[in-house]
Amino acid sequence: MRRVGIIGVGQSLFGVRNDVTIQELAWEAVREALENAGLAQRDIEISIVGSAGTRAYELYPAVPVNEYSGFSEKGPMRVEAACATGSAALAVAYNMVASGFVNIALAVGVEKMNEVDTATSLAVGGRGGNYLWEYHFYGTTFPAYYALYATSHMARFRTTEEQLALVRVKNQKYAARNPKAQFQFEITVDEVLKSRPITWPLKLYDCSAITDGAAAVIVAGEDVIRKLHVDTPVWIEAIGYASDTSNITRREDYVSLKATKIAAQMAYKKAGIEPKDVEVAEVHDCFTIAEIMAYEDLGFAEKGKGGKFIEEGQSDIGGKVAINLSGGLLGKGHPLGATGLAMIYELVKQLREERERGRQAPLKRYIALAHNIGGTGHYGYVTVLRR
């Protein structure tokens, strides 16, 4: 297995993208990644397309995306892992290069989620765990799932609604500075607390939105990177992965995600690092409680201290680890198939020190982490990057 590095990244504008087809949306990210790597379509040996595809008009998006992007003879392969689809696509591309199957691979994630209305989207999401025993009988949707985690965390650790709100406030501060984010504005704790209830204690601003978007990452083997004379390759040090039960009633508790903990332990061991070594991270904040649990599950904060962690500014620039400087899923947007790769896009930019003033993390060790969850912990991926 050879060392694999990232040589090109791209991301589309996130939001409600009724101005483009799914092919055009994917091409926005692919084109930027190719330009970023200094490559042409002919240099890509295989394309891995990540798309949940549950809300779009294209049931099989890999072939039309590849055709439009100029990769008609480059595969393709499609992967799906719910909200962690982008990370799964990267894992496949990484392993194909690491094993020597190909020298250069492209992972592209794309989703057009606004092809259906909100009620339909929620119903589709509710089928994302265990359809018969949760959605069919009880109508459970994703806000309800994460409200179970929020109320449990609040009951056991006295986490407050104000601490949840601080997650959105922090992430919106950076989304306001991200020209590709869906929501480019700042917000206050009071505005979060006064937003309309969705599923108590989660309010509108505690929840990520329905998003269209695409992201792409080009990976290559170390020998190829040397030949290409890449100035600042970002190395994939480790990819940790895990899963959990489809039916959440079979889980051990509702204050953490087992898939995160297992994937994180695997990634740290493979990379030979500890949580304290990570300087900048993108974590899966589909809801504000999800980010607080991620602090704890990833080892950045003690169990039950995630609320204090955000309150003390430890997840902000200047704290222990700068988290979600892209705006996160809450501010940047959450197009399922693209989310994991958009995390990598942000972290590569951070490690190259290419971010705007006020959004660039100060780095000494140049170690970054991406944490991507599918469903309510059904899939878990933790990727460690190093420059």
Residues with a catalytic annotation lie at: 83, 334
Beta bridge partners of 47: 106
Beta bridge partners of 279: none
Length of the chain: 387
φ, ψ at 222 (rounded to 5°): -60, -40
Q: Residue 99 carries which side chain, given as an amino acid letter? A: S
CA distance 191 to 165: 9
Bond into 201 cis (ω within 30): yes
Inter-CA distances, 40 with 6, 32, 66, 183, 369, Å: 16, 11, 14, 32, 29
**Pairing mode of beta strands 379-386, 234-243:** antiparallel
HSE at residue 314, side-chain half, CA atoms within 13 A, is: 20
CA distance 14 to 335: 8
CA distance 190 to 188: 5
Q: In angstroms, how far is CA 148 from the centroid of its own chain?
A: 22
Q: What angle do CA 361, 233, 355 make, to 5 degrees?
A: 25
Query: Residue 226 contacts by C-beta under 8 Å, 6 or more apart in sequence?
Result: none
